Amino acid sequence: MADKILKVEQISLAFGGVKALTDVSFEVEKGSVFSIIGPNGAGKTSMLNCISGRYRPYEGSIHFDDQEVTHMRPNDRADLGIGRTFQNLALFGHMSVLDNIMVGRHHQMKNNWLTGPLYWASPAQKEELKHRRQVEEIIDFLDISHVRKSIAGTLSYGLRKRVELARAIALNPKLILLDEPMAGMNLEEKEDMARYILDLNEEFGITVVMIEHDMGVVMDISHEVMVLDFGKKLVSGLPDEVMANEHVRQAYLGLDDNEQLQEVG
Ligand SMILES: Nc1ncnc2c1ncn2[C@@H]1O[C@H](COP(=O)(O)OP(=O)(O)OP(=O)(O)O)[C@@H](O)[C@H]1O
Ligand SMILES: [Mg+2]
């Protein structure tokens, strides 16, 4: 049996009378790209929030790397290796790109500002240097070295999304949750982002769970796709299987049998 990094079992979540998720189960294979699609309000972001710990489901369980995390705090899940980006950008707009990424990294450091007086001690200094080097690698990987000193809030939307991804990678995640990483991007930016996501999956071995509305991208880079509709799982499987599913084509894509999906690139 293939190795599963994430097991979501019978999750239900409600806000007052609104059922955001009902009895949703799925598993994600280690090292794969797993996409969640579905119409607005289907419960996609809520699902990511249950995995990251922002929301607590009233039913069901979540296992990450064979450990139950259902009731764990978000920070503890981040420590275990669950990273994320947000549907609405969550950068510190007044801080530089480098500092924004270091925020992600500081979470990993044993010596932080609380242990400031120790900073000049040799081990702390070495640790700081090591972190700086790793941050520089991430900056190179995402091709943002030309803006490393820029104030994040002044950058284009596409670049800010990339900086947010850099910050998430700086946490050294085993699993990264991406909520619409390409929303609002032009075609070229989308193609770039798709390549970065593939590279971080293939080169760094990071498992990706991604919400994305662009079906071309989803088809191109996913190993598996799950469709949510009104908080319920409609279907999951290989991208081709899911796209061929009659319910998906009618309910979500609004296509009839003869229409083809447009692919990006
Ligand atoms: N914090 C919250 N408080 C109240 N209701 C919420 C909250 N978060 C989500 N919901 C509700 O849960 C349902 C699912 O929302 P969710 O944001 O998960 O959908 P989504 O699939 O991500 O949609 P979109 O494609 O628009 O981002 C919606 O009815 C939404 O209004
Ligand atoms: Mg959403």
Residue type, 11: I
Asked whether 258 lines ligand 1 (CB < 6 A), one says no
How many whole angstroms separate alpha carbon 88 and alpha carbon 93?
Answer: 13
In this model, does residue 163 exceed pLDDT 60?
yes
Which H or E run contains 15? Answer: strand 4-15
Q: Which residues, listed in sequence order, are joined to residue 224 by a DSSP beta bridge? A: 34
Which tokens go with 88? 């609405």
DSSP H helices, the chain, are: 44-52, 74-80, 97-106, 122-141, 157-170, 187-202, 215-221, 239-244, 246-247
**Nearest atom within ligand 1 for CA of residue 49:** 18
Long-range CB pairs of 17-21 (<8 Å, 24+ gap) are 19/231, 20/46, 20/231, 21/46, 21/47, 21/50, 21/57, 21/228, 21/231, 21/232
pLDDT band at 263 (very low <50, low <70, confident <90, very high): very low
Reply yes or no on whether the pLDDT at 23 is more than 70: yes
Q: Concatenate the DSSP letters of all residues of 35-74 into one string.
A: EEE-STTSSHHHHHHHHHTSS--SEEEEEETTEE-TT--H
Choice from 22, 44, 46, 56 to test ligand 1 binding pocket (greatest atom count within 8 A of CB): 46
pLDDT digits (tens, 9 = 90+) for 96-153: 998 888 876 765 555 454 444 545 557 777 777 887 888 899 999 999 999 999 999 9
Q: Would you state the pLDDT for residue 154?
A: 93
pLDDT of residue 157: 86
11 CA to middle of ligand 2, Å? 17
pLDDT at site 265: 38
Name the more confident of 184 and 110: 184
Compute the C-alpha angle 72/70/197, nearest 5°: 90
Which ligand 1 atom lies nearest to the CA of residue 39?
Answer: 25
Q: What is the DSSP letter of 75?
A: H
Tell me the pLDDT tens digit for each residue of 52-102. Answer: 999 999 999 999 998 999 999 999 999 999 998 877 667 788 899 988 888
pLDDT at 259: 55
The predicted pLDDT at position 104 comes to: 66
Residue 262 clears pLDDT 80, i.e. is over it: no
User: Is 160 touching ligand 1 by the criterion CB < 6 Å?
Assistant: no
Q: Rounded CA gap, 254 and 261, in Å?
A: 11
Report how far residue 46's alpha carbon sits from residue 206's, in angstroms, rounded to the nearest whole number. 22
Ligand 1 atom at shortest distance from the alpha carbon of 48 = 18
- If you measure from the C-alpha of residue 229 to the centroid of ligand 2, how many angstroms do you get, rounded to a whole number? 12
Burial of 113 by CB count in 10 Å (0-12 exposed, 13-18 middle, 19+ buried)? exposed
Answer yes or no: is the C-beta of 155 below 6 A from any ligand 1 atom.
no
- Residue 90, pLDDT score: 75
